[in-house]
Structure 1
């Protein structure tokens, strides 16, 4: 099945955690962001275009139904709520499904499988981007590629070293990070390090200086470092 990029919006922490666990169990779903209200989602949608929104209805400030109605081109949406009263209105805005809490994984999967197949236009030119969004403290933070000096893997976390005093730390695998950064600008020099070639200051056969730091070049990655 095609990969579906999705985001979650719910003001209840336990409900968010459950949806995150369901998404992570589903191989063709890729979680792009988790939000606690519609305003955060609106800010995210101003720069990104996910395929699917898993959306709570009753949230403070702006409810999910009203929010969807304000969007000129909303993503596909599955409403997830503790209330039955909004079902008719939800389907009037062409929701994929309407799930009542607590949601079982089986019911969740059935709803996701309603996602319509995308048609592929072979003449389409891939959209180039100059940044990525990473999850930090339950927020999606924009990080321009040209501001990244190097990236370090730390188990289930990745550190992004920039001009800031402290690295930006996000829970993700290095292999997932590699898929989001431009291969022409970045190169892996060690199983734990990816460097931005634009920030290389000096190098030897064994190490490379990126910004102020000297990083070890692993023997198995030496051939990839073409400068």
Structure 2
């Protein structure tokens, strides 16, 4: 669970952020502040992991407020102005969101933090479906297949269509035991039950090995064959 606060003197902007936060199960809103001094009180009394911080506020703006903190939570700036972007990133802000903030842009920013938070449970990924973002354990995913502008996510017991892009998932999954073996397929190596030069079996699922991806798959096979193949 990621404890977060909203620091924004615009009630409608704060309400929109609160609504976005409510849609993500791993975020817990611990408070809202309309100015830096109120935010400081919350930070003194509670453990806050993430701060959604407006820049243009009365008395002390968000940039100077963050500079003044000796213990800085992860911060996502929320503002209607582009002028402070460079200074914001120099303070090692996670992101810089321009108002009005859509949920899609909000989630993309928060997902960077979700990926870095240690989990006591098994690794997971948030995958975008038609109506919501779905939390999927990596151990459940057998393979991912490109289908035009969408992808098909195949689990051990079901499958569904997602709006994510294959290339984006490949970056995340490549360090988690997944291998791209074809222009249209990323497989979970844990499910490989048999293979040949041109084909891989994941249980009853037959996955082709693309010519341009064969070298990467051969490298994987070579790595495991030292101790596993007889």
Shorter-chain TM-score bucket reads 0.5 to 0.7
- Report 1:8-87 matches (<5 A): 36-41=19-24, 43-45=25-27, 64-65=32-33, 69=42, 72-79=47-54, 87=58
Q: Distance in 2 between matches of 1:159 and 1:148?
A: 11
Task: Indicate yes or no: 2:192 matched with 1:209.
Answer: no
Contact preservation (8 Å) 2:77, 2:88: no
TM-score normalised per structure 1: 0.53
Report the count of equivalent residues.
170
Task: Indicate yes or no: 2:150 matched with 1:149.
Answer: no
Task: Indicate yes or no: 2:132 matched with 1:139.
Answer: yes
Gap regions ≥5 residues in structure 2: 1-11, 68-75, 95-116, 225-230
3-state SS in 2 of match to 1:179: helix
Compute the displacement of 1:202 (Å).
2.6
Contact preservation (8 Å) 2:77, 2:93: no
Which of the pair has the greater relative contact order for Cα pairs under 8 Å at 6+ separation? 1
- The CA RMSD measured in Å over matched residues stands at 4.6
Larger Rg: 1 or 2?
2
Q: Distance in 2 between matches of 1:98 and 1:221?
A: 40
Once the two structures are superposed, what CA deviation does each residue of 1:4-30 show, in whole Å capped at 9, x if it has no partner?
xxxxxxxx9xxx8xxxxxxxxxxxxxx
Compute the displacement of 1:107 (Å).
4.0
Moved over 4 A (4+): 61-64, 68-71, 86-91, 94-100, 126-129
What residue number does 2:105 align with? none
Compute the displacement of 1:224 (Å).
2.5
Pick aligned residue for 1:113 from 73, 82, 89: 89
TM-score normalised per structure 2: 0.53
Q: Distance in 2 between matches of 1:175 and 1:211?
A: 25
Q: Structure 1 or 2: larger helix share? A: 2
Contact preservation (8 Å) 1:149, 1:211: no
Gap regions ≥5 residues in structure 1: 1-11, 17-33, 47-60, 119-125
Compute the displacement of 1:218 (Å).
1.0
